[in-house]
Each structure stands twice: as structure tokens, then as C-alpha cells.
């Protein structure tokens, strides 16, 4: 039982939004489509919802081809980036909307809506207008509204995009718990690496209409498939690759760099400490080498104290792991 | 009343106060100019209307207003508004909906066409109808043969009024539909609503105040229309005179105070429109 897009392509005029994208999502899974703006992730979500038609390729829900099924009949729940709440209705009516237009008997609507409001922790808010709610509350109304008609799959477009950092963090954890309770298959679109890594079972990284890499967060983080993914995930250092021309560089993350006072094995390179930032769980050391190149290393407090590093000191940097990618064609 | 400490909070230094003085002066001067202009251009003429209307006393005023020809003009004005406003509302909704929510060929053309009545003098629009459906035109001739008189009768007047006023509702609806975007409609669709349910339950309620605003403006313009209607009416007293036309007829007959008495009715209409407009505007601002 899966949700699947096969070979989906979509153009808007000359702009290629999606270029033969295929993705399979298991039932109950939470998948994040991660990528910079304009990478096609929202278009893919809209194609799943039935709001956009692919130029080619097919969409399958649990074995049925729904490529040409209209949005209203697909049984998806969609939460828009700006929630798209019906401002002229109360919270209750918003959540009840999907049930009413589908002709659910009145007697069933009341209890179901109250149950959903309780689930999203908005018990006392049934009679409020959306304009009286905070951003986080509005998002929860949108979630309850989408969940009301028991969708086969939930689609969330930048669910935290419009929230400030504190609320964002809290809602992320809450959304994951909600997913663990409901087990509704969920696809969320985000440009935020933390959103994706913290929430998702699997992350699908997109760039210029193509899937760059799909996998569990840990895999994607440790073993980026391409140079682009490595750079996109951030925290990258370019370090010289040993045994090659000095112009060849590979990638290593700050915590993968060891520092010592003397040259060591595995091969190290000399650098000078530019700045030390000791506030945090790890100590951040900014280093420069080869004149104008710089790297950042993160070492734990014990190591930092043992080294007693100061700005201007000379050290040797030895990467535990260097990733070298074939030049992209 | 402001306490001295509070005032100190706002005007913290003497230099700030000095800088504020010229600004306050400029503000007062601008306000005075605006008010003086309004006084000369709006308030004085309106007062003159009432002064002239009541020149021969209250009874003469009332007699002028309930005269058979005046009542006929009122009936015709209301009748035309009753035909034109709903028609333009439906048209405006359809056009606004199409332009605001969809992409299609000829969208720019349709948008420009809606602006035409704002750009063309009403007299010209009246003449267009005389040329198109007048007695000497092919279409008008045919219609006359089958006993339908369009020009110099109320159907022509309604057409001219409709032409002059059709942009009012459409414009409002387009602006609103464009600013509200497609999100809410799409949300409704995904939730399982049909196109019809989406329109009645989501789109229409979310633009209702803006729509009403457009309808009010359209109605005011329809009832006050002079130029276009004047060309197609033929000024048959008691038959094809609307209120604005009747005001002119009376004036041309040298019945000045009666003319102003009828004109004052239009002033009342304007006041009611203004009040309604302000009330609705307030509703629109509440998100």
C-alpha cells in the first residue's frame, strides 16, 4: 500500500518545474520534500493534491491510478503555507466544512469536530473567528480541517514557514507526535533542513526539478549523494585532499575535523587559529590556511582545554572524513 | 487632557519641539486649503440647492416633489436602477471571477473593455446606442417593425445606463478576487467541495462587503446618470424623464425652485449613498 508518483514532468512555459520525478511513499510514512525555493517541491505537492496536472507521468494512491482524479475526489488533506482558513467562518465551521460539503449527517459533525479540536488542543476555540487566533493556532485549525474527512494522505506546504522560531520548534515536535498518534501518511514541503531532519522518516532532496537524493535523515546527512546536496545541507568545509594536487579539494563537516599541536596520521595540514567561539556544547574554532582559505572545526570542551587554543596559534588539522565528488556533468 | 510628564515623554527636547513647529504649520495650512476648496466646490453648491429649493416655502417644495411628472421621473429612475444594478452585479461577478481567478486568452482585452466606460464620455456612449439601435439603424429598424422601441424609450435608457455603470461592480470584484488569491478556493476543492459550493460558501462570502460597495457605487451612478441617458431619452415629460433629466426640463422651463427641489432629492440620494459607503468601508477594513 503506497503512494507513488512515476516519471512526473511539468513545465510552466519555458521553465521546467519537474523533470521526470519518481517517488514512492509507504503508508504511514512521513516524508519531507526538501529543497531551495523554486526547486519544484511545491509543484510536486500540488500534483499529489490534484490542484496541478502533470505534463507527463502518473500518480498512484494505494494501487489506483489517480492521475486524472479531481482534487475533490482524491481524499487528500492539504495544509497551505498561509493556511487559507475561511475567514468569514468560525473555527468550528472551518473544521466542519469538509464534512458538510460531503453531506455528512449533522449528528455526526458536532462530535467529530469537537474531537478534532481537542486533538489539536483548541477545545475552547470553536466559536472564535480565525482572525482572533495566533499563527500557531491558525495552523492547528488548518490541520484539524484537513484531518476532518480522514484523508488517505496529508500534504503540508511549508507548515512552519509563517511562524517565528520559538513556536516553530514547539509545533515541529507536536506535529511529529500527532503523526505518531494518527499514522496518516504525510508529505511535507520545506526549505528548512531542520524541519526536514527533525520530523521526517525520509527526506527527498530536490534541486531544479529533480530528486537529488532520497533517504533517512541520518543517511542523507552522512552520505550526501552529490556535491550539491553536500553544499545544500550546509556546514561544509573545503579541505585539501591528501596525495593529490593541492588544487583538489574535498568536503568535511566541522565536527569531522580533529585538531592537534603536531602533524599526525591521518595526514594533516597546517593552519592558524583566527577566532575561537567557546559558548556552546562544542567549541567552534575558525582557522585559516594557504593564506586566504578558511575552515571551521568543532571540538568538544575536553579537547579544547587540552589544546589550550588561542587566536594566532598554529595547529594541524586532520579530517577524519573527506568526501570527494566527481565533477558534475 | 495631557499631564505635563506625559507631554515631556513625547516632546523630549526643545529642539524636537522646534523642528515640529513648521511641520504643524504646514499641516494646518494644507488642511485649511483642502477644507476651503471643499467648501467652495461642494458645500456651497449643496447649500445653494436647498436655499433655492425652499425659496418659495416648504409647501411649494413639497408640491414640486409630488407633482405627477416628478413621480413619473422617480418611478423611471428606480425602474432603470432596478434593471441595471442587478444585471451589472451578475456581470461584474462573472467578469471579476473570471479575471481574478483564471488565466485565459483575451483576459487583458476583457480587463480593458471594463475600463472603457470610465474613459468614454457618457454622451458618447449614449450616441453609440442611438447609432446601434436607433430607428435608422438596421437592428433598430427591425425592432421598431416588431413594435419594440429602444431609443427614446426606457429600454434604450437602461442600456445606456448599464453601459456607463458596468465597470463599477466588476472593478471592485476584480481587485478583491486578485488580492484574496486562489488559496481558499483550492482549499475548498481539496476538502471535497464542488465548484458551485466553493463559489457560494467560500468565494462570495469572502468578497461580500466589497461586492456591496461596488453595488452601492453602481446604484448611485445609475440613478444620477445624465449624459448618456439624455441622448437616448428624447425628454418626453412623464414618459422618458429620469430625475436628473427632469431637473433639466424644469430648469429650462424657468421653474427654478421646482427644479432645485427635485435636485435636492438627488442630494439626499447622495447622502444616503455616502453613509452606506462609509459603513461598508468600515466592514471591509475588518479582516
Strand partners of residue A206: A211
- Among A182, A215, A231, the domain boundary falls at A231
Last residue of a domain, one of A231, A254, A286: A231
- The reply to whether A217 and A259 lie within a common domain is no
Contact residues on chain B for A145, CB-CB shorter than 8 A: 187, 191
State whether A225 and A266 are in the same domain. Answer: no
Q: Does residue A221 have a cis peptide bond before it, meaning omega lies within 30 degrees of 0?
A: no
Contact check, Cβ <8 Å, A84/B187: yes
| Pairwise CB contact (< 8 Å): A72 & B189 | yes
**Which of A72, A93, A99, A154 to mutate against chain B (most B CBs within 10 Å)?**
A72
A134 domain-assigned:
yes
Given a contact cutoff of 8 angstroms between Cβ atoms, the answer to whether A97 and A53 are in contact is no
pLDDT for position B17:
58
Strand-pair category, A153-157 with A185-190: parallel
Structure confidence at residue A167 (pLDDT): 82
| A95 and A44 co-located in one domain | yes
B191, β-bridge pairs:
none
Residue A168: inside a domain: yes
In a domain, A327, yes or no: no
Q: Which residues of A touch B192 (CB under 8 A)?
A: 72-73, 98, 101-102, 149
pLDDT at position B4: 46
Q: Return d(Cα B158, Cα B179) in angstroms, integer.
A: 32
Give the DSSP H/E element, type plus range, for residue A286.
strand A282-289
Residues of B in contact with A84 (CB under 8 A): 183-184, 186-187
Same domain, A100 and A245: no
Q: Report the C-alpha gap between A76 and A71 in whole angstroms.
A: 8
Question: How far is B276 from chain A, CA to nearest CA, in Å?
Answer: 21
Question: In whole angstroms, what is the distance from residue B144 CA to residue B136 CA?
Answer: 10
Q: Which chain A residues have a beta carbon less than 8 Å from that of B206?
A: 86-88
- CA–CA separation, A21 and A40 (whole Å): 10
What the block records as the C-alpha cell of A116 is 478534532
The residue out of A173, A205, A231 marking a domain boundary is A231
Q: Does residue A283 lie within any of the structural domains?
A: yes
Q: A72–B206: do the CB atoms touch at under 8 Å?
A: no
Closest-CA distance, B184 to chain A, in angstroms, reads 5
Distance, CA of B171 to CA of B179 (rounded, Å): 12
Q: Are B160 and B82 in contact (CB under 8 A)?
A: no
Both A220 and A307 in a single domain?
Answer: no
- Residue for grid cell 519531507: A32
Which of B191, B206, B208 faces A97 most closely, judged by CB atoms? B191
| A131 with B192: Cβ contact below 8 A | no
Instruction: Return phi, psi of residue A249, to 5°.
Output: -125, 150
Helix axis angle for B58-66 and B256-285, nearest 10°, is 80
CB within 8 Å: A77 and B190:
yes
SS3 A253: coil
Q: What is the pLDDT at residue B99? A: 87
Which residues of A fall below an 8 Å CB-CB distance to B? 49-51, 70-74, 76-78, 80, 82, 84-89, 97-98, 101-102, 131, 145-146, 148-149
Together in a domain, A272 and A186: no
What span, in angstroms and rounded, lies between the C-alpha atoms of A314 and A262?
9
CA distances from A187 to A2, A108, A200, B132 (A): 12, 28, 9, 60
User: CATH code at A299?
Assistant: 2.40.50.140
Of B238, B248, B215, B254, the C-alpha closest to B82 is B215
In a domain, residue A30? The reply is: yes
Does residue A140 sit within a domain?
A: yes
Closest CA to A134 of A85, A92, A96: A85
Q: What are phi and psi of B137, to 5 degrees?
A: -85, 160
State the pLDDT at residue B90: 93
Q: What's the number of domains chain A is made of?
A: 2
Range of the domain at A104: 2-231
Are A250 and A280 members of one domain?
A: yes
Q: What are phi and psi of A18, to 5 degrees?
A: -135, 135
Cross-chain residue pair A102–B192, CB shorter than 8 Å: yes
Tell me, rounded to whole angstroms, the distance of Cα B243 from its chain centroid: 15
Residue A20 and residue A5: Cα distance in Å, rounded? 9
Cβ distance B70 to B76 under 8 Å? Answer: no
Which cell numbers hold the place of B113?
473593455
- Concatenate the DSSP letters of all residues of A46-104 into one string: HHHHTSS--SEEEEEETTEE-TT--GGGT-EEEE-TT----TTS-HHHHHHHHHHHTT-
- Note whether A86 contacts B189, CB cutoff 8 Å: no
- Chain pair A-B, CB pairs under 8 angstroms: 67
Contact A71 B183 (CB under 8 A): no
Q: What is the distance in angstroms between the Cα of B192 and the nearest Cα belonging to chain A?
A: 4
pLDDT of residue A327: 62
Tell me the sheet residues that pair with A61.
Answer: A3, A64
- Whether residue A160 is contained in a domain is answered as yes
Residue A324 lies in a domain: no
A216 and A246 assigned to the same domain: no
Query: What is the DSSP secondary structure assignment for residue B255, as one 8-state letter?
Result: -
Cβ contact B184–A84 (<8 Å): yes
| A228, containing H or E segment | helix A227-233
Q: pLDDT (tens digit, 0 to 9) for every residue of chain A, 329 residues total? A: 689 999 999 999 889 899 999 999 999 999 999 999 889 999 999 999 999 999 999 999 988 999 999 998 999 999 998 999 999 999 999 999 999 999 999 999 999 999 999 989 999 999 999 999 998 899 999 999 999 988 999 999 998 887 888 888 888 888 999 899 889 999 999 999 988 999 999 999 999 999 999 999 999 998 899 889 998 988 888 888 765 555 678 888 998 888 888 887 667 888 889 999 888 888 999 999 887 888 999 988 888 888 888 888 888 888 888 888 876 44
pLDDT score at A13: 87
* pLDDT tens, chain B, 287 aa long: 444 444 444 444 555 556 677 888 999 999 999 999 999 998 999 999 899 889 888 999 999 889 888 999 999 999 999 999 999 999 999 988 888 888 888 888 988 888 888 888 888 888 888 888 887 888 888 888 888 888 888 888 999 999 999 889 998 888 888 887 788 999 999 999 998 999 899 988 888 888 998 999 999 999 999 888 888 888 777 788 889 999 998 999 898 889 999 999 999 988 898 898 888 888 776 44
Query: Among residues A101, A98, A17, which one has the least CA distance to residue A53?
Result: A17
Residue with cell 434593471: B83
The CATH number assigned to the domain holding A222 equals 3.40.50.300
Task: Note the residue count of chain A.
Answer: 329
Q: Do both A97 and A131 map to the same domain?
A: yes
Helix (H) or strand (E) holding B259: helix B256-285
B240 within 8 A of B76, measured Cβ to Cβ: yes
**Nearest residue on chain B to A51, judged by CA atoms?**
B186
Instruction: Identify whether residues A19 and A112 lie together within a single domain.
Output: yes
Q: Using an 8 Å Cβ cutoff, are A103 and B192 in contact?
A: no
Query: Is there a contact between B193 and A88 if contact means CB atoms under 8 Å apart?
Result: no
* Whether the predicted interface score ipTM is above 0.90: no
Given this model, what pLDDT does residue B3 score?
45
Residues A38 and A114 in one domain: yes
Q: End-to-end alpha-carbon separation of chain A, Å?
A: 37
B194 touches chain A (CB under 8 A): yes
Three-state DSSP class for residue B243: helix
Closest CA to B215 of B172, B176, B244: B172
User: Smallest CA–CA separation between A76 and chain B, in Å?
Assistant: 7
Burial class (CB in 10 A: 0-12, 13-18, 19+), A326: exposed
- Interchain proximity A77–B201, CB inside 8 Å: no
How far off is chain B from A151, nearest CA to CA, in Å? 9
A97 & A146 share domain:
yes
Q: Strands (DSSP E) along A53-164, which ranges?
A: 56-61, 64-65, 76-79, 153-157
Q: What is the DSSP letter of A123?
A: G
Q: Which helix (H) or strand (E) holds A284?
A: strand A282-289
CA distances (Å), origin A114, targets A86, A91, A139, B157, B201:
18, 11, 17, 56, 22
Angle, CA B86 vertex, CA A89 and CA B196 arms, to 5° = 40
Amino acid at each position: 500500500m503506497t503512494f507513488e508518483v512515476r516519471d512526473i514532468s511539468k513545465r510552466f512555459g519555458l521553465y521546467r518545474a519537474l523533470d521526470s520525478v519518481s517517488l514512492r511513499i509507504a503508508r504511514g510514512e512521513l516524508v519531507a520534500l526538501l529543497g531551495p525555493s523554486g526547486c519544484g517541491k511545491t509543484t510536486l505537492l500540488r500534483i499529489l493534491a490534484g490542484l496541478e496536472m502533470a505534463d507527463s507521468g502518473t500518480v498512484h494512491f494505494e494501487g489506483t491510478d489517480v492521475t486524472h482524479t479531481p482534487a475533490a475526489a482524491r481524499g487528500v488533506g492539504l495544509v497551505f503555507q498561509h493556511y487559507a482558513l475561511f475567514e468569514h467562518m468560525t473555527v468550528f465551521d472551518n473544521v466542519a466544512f469538509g464534512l458538510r460539503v460531503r453531506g455528512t449527517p449533522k449528528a455526526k459533525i458536532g462530535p467529530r469536530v469537537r474531537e478534532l479540536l481537542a486533538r489539536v488542543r483548541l477545545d475552547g476555540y470553536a466559536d472564535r473567528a480565525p482572525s482572533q487566533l495566533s499563527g500557531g493556532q491558525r495552523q492547528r485549525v488548518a490541520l484539524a480541517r484537513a484531518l476532518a474527512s480522514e484523508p488517505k494522505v496529508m500534504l503540508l506546504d511549508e507548515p512552519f514557514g509563517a511562524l517565528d522560531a520559538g513556536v516553530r520548534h514547539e509545533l515541529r515536535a507536536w506535529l511529529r507526535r500527532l503523526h505518531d498518534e494518527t499514522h496518516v501518511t504525510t508529505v511535507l514541503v520545506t526549505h528548512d533542513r531542520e524541519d526536514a531532519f527533525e520530523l521526517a522518516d525520509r527526506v527527498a532532496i530536490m534541486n531544479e526539478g529533480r530528486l537529488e537524493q532520497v533517504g533517512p535523515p541520518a543517511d542523507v546527512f552522512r552520505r550526501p549523494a552529490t556535491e550539491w546536496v553536500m553544499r545544500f545541507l550546509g556546514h561544509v568545509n573545503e579541505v585539501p585532499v591528501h596525495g593529490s594536487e593541492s588544487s583538489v579539494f574535498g568536503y568535511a563537516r566541522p565536527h569531522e575535523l580533529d585538531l592537534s599541536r603536531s602533524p599526525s596520521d591521518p595526514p594533516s595540514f597546517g593552519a592558524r587559529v583566527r577566532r575561537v567561539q567557546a559558548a556552546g556544547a562544542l567549541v567552534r574554532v575558525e582557522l585559516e590556511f594557504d593564506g586566504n582559505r578558511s575552515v571551521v572545526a568543532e571540538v568538544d570542551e575536553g579537547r579544547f582545554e587540552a589544546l589550550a587554543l588561542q587566536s594566532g596559534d598554529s595547529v594541524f588539522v586532520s579530517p577524519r572524513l573527506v568526501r570527494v565528488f566527481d565533477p558534475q556533468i | 487632557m495631557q499631564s505635563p510628564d506625559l507631554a515631556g515623554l513625547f516632546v523630549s527636547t526643545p529642539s524636537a519641539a522646534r523642528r515640529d513647529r513648521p511641520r504643524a504649520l504646514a499641516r494646518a495650512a494644507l488642511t485649511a486649503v483642502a477644507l476651503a476648496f471643499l467648501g467652495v466646490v461642494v458645500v456651497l453648491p449643496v447649500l445653494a440647492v436647498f436655499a433655492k429649493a425652499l425659496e418659495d416655502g416648504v409647501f411649494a417644495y413639497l408640491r414640486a416633489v409630488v407633482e405627477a411628472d416628478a413621480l413619473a421621473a422617480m418611478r423611471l429612475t428606480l425602474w432603470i436602477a432596478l434593471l441595471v444594478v442587478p444585471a451589472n452585479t451578475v456581470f461584474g461577478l462573472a467578469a471579476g471571477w473570471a479575471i481574478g481567478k483564471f488565466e485565459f486568452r483575451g483576459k487583458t482585452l476583457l480587463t480593458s473593455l471594463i475600463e472603457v466606460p470610465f474613459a468614454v464620455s457618457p454622451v458618447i456612449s449614449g450616441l453609440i446606442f442611438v447609432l446601434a439601435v436607433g430607428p435608422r439603424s438596421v437592428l433598430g429598424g427591425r425592432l421598431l417593425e416588431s413594435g419594440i422601441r429602444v431609443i427614446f424609450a426606457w429600454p434604450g435608457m437602461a442600456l445606456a445606463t448599464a453601459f456607463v455603470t458596468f465597470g463599477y461592480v466588476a472593478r471592485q470584484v476584480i481587485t478583491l478576487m486578485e488580492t484574496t488569491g486562489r488559496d481558499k478556493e483550492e482549499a475548498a476543492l481539496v476538502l471535497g467541495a464542488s465548484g458551485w459550493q466553493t463559489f457560494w460558501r467560500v468565494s462570495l462570502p469572502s468578497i461580500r462587503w466589497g461586492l456591496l460597495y461596488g453595488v452601492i457605487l453602481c446604484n448611485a451612478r445609475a440613478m444620477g446618470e445624465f449624459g448618456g441617458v439624455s441622448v437616448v431619452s428624447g425628454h418626453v415629460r412623464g414618459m422618458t424623464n429620469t430625475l436628473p433629466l427632469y431637473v433639466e426640463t424644469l430648469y429650462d422651463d424657468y421653474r427654478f425652485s421646482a427644479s432645485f427641489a427635485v435636485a435636492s432629492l438627488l442630494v439626499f440620494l447622495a447622502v444616503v449613498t455616502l453613509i452606506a459607503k462609509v459603513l461598508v468601508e468600515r466592514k471591509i477594513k475588518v479582516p
